Amino acid sequence: MLPAVTVDTYNEELRDEEGFVGDRASGRAFRAILADWRDRLKASGDDPLGDTPMEDVSKSKLDKMMASDDPTAAALIHTVVEEFAAELCTVVRRFMRVPAWKGTERIVLGGGLIDSRIGELAMGRASILLKTGGIDVDICRIGNHPDEAGLIGTVQLAPGWILAGHDAILAIDIGGTNVRAGIVELNAGKRGELDDADVWKRVHWRHRDDNPTRDEAIERIADMLNKLIERAAKEKMKLAPFIGIGCPGLIDEHGTILKGGQNLPGNWEGESFHLPAALLERLPRIDGNDIVIQMHNDAVVQGLSEVPNMKDVQHWGVMTIGTGLGNARFTNRDDD
């Protein structure tokens, strides 16, 4: 239970005869569909992408192909989008049958794929398929940039008392490929609303390229935070003694990653490792105060960035289309 919402469920790992249901609507699934259609076209020597390896096919390249004057290239991308949209529709249908997801009025889609024209079209097509198929749920894209949503959402993890009298908080968004850290400016209203919270400064590290050990990764993240703390002090920005973290996996109330951290550098799972404690050992006090750290699943935190936009519904969810499919479902709490 958080100040603005109750997290009804997250990190649901639904299965069918083919494996995890969410994998059918992941970024990896989209690329698998594209690769399959390329193989079919190659048999007739008519692959618009030629000899370009899949790892070099970017979202921007696919967007350009879809809008190009080459009918075969455009048709290929439209075909892939259509097939992926059908898979996304199937996944949403399956989630809506889960007891904790029943009655969901709106689902926000996040992740890198949605930040593209092909992702937007897949989302729109899935929405049409759902509504014409009798599933009454709104589908919309996440409002903030995918690189910032996982930072902005952390303000919803903080208790109100710790934010009072402060300008900003520190935030970390940890993924299987990247780590982003930033200073999130609260821009709180007269009643303490956080509707206009925004990223003031952020830094990025693609840890997958460096292949660090776990200790090396923690040292690098702590260094990122220390530099942000120094920057805030230089600019006379009053930081709250709070850090919010979004991290993959199933995380208990003590901040231990129980499972789902297999893509992180080293072994982050189990009671033998506690990320918040490891970071606190490497960070200073802020204005003489001990730092409080709250950590939750990364899909939950991305979803929390949408709290200000969900005041017209009661039950809503988020699905983040990345390497896998992150998911969380929320119920708004009454203001009183």
* Average pLDDT value for residue range 36-49: 91
50 lies in the same domain as 106: yes
Range of the domain at 179: 148-298
16: pLDDT strictly greater than 90 = no
Is 153 among the domain residues? yes
Residue 100: the pLDDT is 95
Is 227 among the domain residues? yes
Taking phi over 0 as left and psi of -120 to 50 as alpha, with beta for the rest, 7 belongs to: beta
Residue 301: the pLDDT is 96
107 lies in the same domain as 189: no
35 lies in the same domain as 83: yes
Under DSSP, is residue 184 helix (H, G, I), strand (E, B) or coil?
strand
* Residue where a domain terminates, one of 141, 157, 185: 141
69 lies in the same domain as 153: no
DSSP letter at 257?
E
For tokens 């049409």, the residue is 128
* Residue where a domain terminates, one of 92, 121, 141: 141
172 lies in the same domain as 134: no
CA 33 to the chain's CA centroid: 22
Residue 254: the pLDDT is 87
Residue 193: the pLDDT is 74
188 lies in the same domain as 104: no
Phi, psi of 105 (to 5 degrees): -95, -30
* Average pLDDT value for residue range 292-310: 95
Beta bridge partners of 294: 244
Tokens of 81: 């989008």
Is 136 among the domain residues? yes
Residue 111: the pLDDT is 86
17 lies in the same domain as 156: no
Is 331 among the domain residues? no
156 lies in the same domain as 294: yes
Residue 190: the pLDDT is 61
- Average pLDDT of the chain is 93
Is 318 among the domain residues? no
Q: Which amino acid is at 72?
A: T
Grade residue 335 by pLDDT with cuts at 50, 70 and 90.
Answer: low
Is 313 among the domain residues? no
Residue 189: the pLDDT is 67
293 lies in the same domain as 158: yes
Residue 192: the pLDDT is 64
* Residue where a domain terminates, one of 94, 110, 141: 141
Read off the pTM.
0.91
Whole-number Å distance between alpha carbons of 61 and 19:
30
Is 320 among the domain residues? no
Whole-number Å distance between alpha carbons of 123 and 92:
11
Q: Which CATH number does the domain housing residue 123 bear? A: 3.30.420
163: pLDDT strictly greater than 70 = yes
Grade residue 219 by pLDDT with cuts at 50, 70 and 90.
Answer: very high
87 lies in the same domain as 211: no
Q: How far, in Å, are 34, 110, 155, 240 from residue 141 at the CA level?
A: 22, 6, 20, 30
157 lies in the same domain as 283: yes
Q: What is the pLDDT of residues 107-145, one digit of tens each?
A: 999 988 888 999 999 999 999 999 999 999 999 999 999
Whole-number Å distance between alpha carbons of 242 and 285:
10
Residue 307: the pLDDT is 96
Q: What is the pLDDT of residues 250-283, one digit of tens each?
A: 999 888 999 988 889 999 999 899 999 999 999 9
Spatial neighbors of 151 by CB under 8 A, at least 6 apart, are: 171, 172, 173, 180, 181, 182, 184, 199, 202, 246
Is 211 among the domain residues? yes
First to last CA, the chain: 15
Q: Which CATH number does the domain housing residue 193 bear? A: 3.30.420.40
336: pLDDT strictly greater than 60 = no
Per the structure, the count of domains in the chain is 2
117 lies in the same domain as 10: yes
Whole-number Å distance between alpha carbons of 183 and 162:
16
* Average pLDDT value for residue range 77-102: 96
Maximum mean pLDDT: which of 19-28, 184-193, 296-305: 296-305
**HSE toward the beta carbon, residue 268, CA cutoff 13 A:** 29
Residue 94: the pLDDT is 94
Spatial neighbors of 144 by CB under 8 A, at least 6 apart, are: 152, 305
